[in-house]
Amino acid sequence: MNATTTKQLNRILLALQGLGVTTYSCKSCDAKRDAQQNLEGKSHFVDESTLRYFKARVNNCWIPEVFGDCLLLAVAHSDGSKPVDPHFNKRVSVFDAFGTTIYQTEWNTTTRHATDEFDTWLKTFDTYAHYKETILATVKRMREEAKRASDALYGRTPKD
């Protein structure tokens, strides 16, 4: 169950701000343009070239109503390059604020079926746990990168 509190949400938002990560917002009434603008610089998932390559289209884009409405982006899309069964070509992909795909439904016959599957998953998603783990991993990676850069500047060799 998603029991993120206001205090936890504020911690997540402050941490994301400190990392320079922007959250999601409604950028356009057009689903494709909204997805593209929200994921710009984060993911190539809905770039024109990617959509063209997979003969895909964005059917819908929305910010799921979870605690902290700006932390997830859901994109319902279809894929025209699925030759096995062209009827099962719709799914929902979910992105966190880093632009990472954190969930994808199975391929479905309708966007509604994919959205229903997504809604079921969302009820079990722990926003705070996901972001806490992701932010801590990002901070650890950044510390390691900063250490390597500092060592290089001062002529220290890496320790194996």
Give residue-wise pLDDT tens across range 94-111: 999 999 999 999 988 888
Q: Which domain holds residue 79?
A: 21-125
Residue 63 token pair: 């910010």
Q: Flag whether 68 is in a domain.
A: yes
Q: Model confidence at 45, in pLDDT bands (50, 70, 90)?
A: very high
**What's the pLDDT tens digit per position in 116-140?**
999 999 999 998 999 999 999 999 9
Q: Taking the model in full, what pTM does it have?
A: 0.87
Q: Flag whether 33 is in a domain.
A: yes
Residue 32 token pair: 């494709």
Number of domain units in the chain: 1
Average pLDDT score over the chain: 90
Q: Flag whether 9 is in a domain.
A: no
Q: Flag whether 135 is in a domain.
A: no
Q: Which helix (H) or strand (E) holds 77?
A: strand 72-79
Map tokens 């929902």 to a residue. Answer: 92
How many other CB atoms sit within 10 Å of the CB of residue 124?
Answer: 8
Residue 79 token pair: 């894929």
Q: Flag whether 154 is in a domain.
A: no
Q: Flag whether 150 is in a domain.
A: no
Q: Flag whether 58 is in a domain.
A: yes
Q: Flag whether 115 is in a domain.
A: yes
Residues 108/88, Cβ–Cβ less than 8 Å? yes
Residue 100 token pair: 């990472």
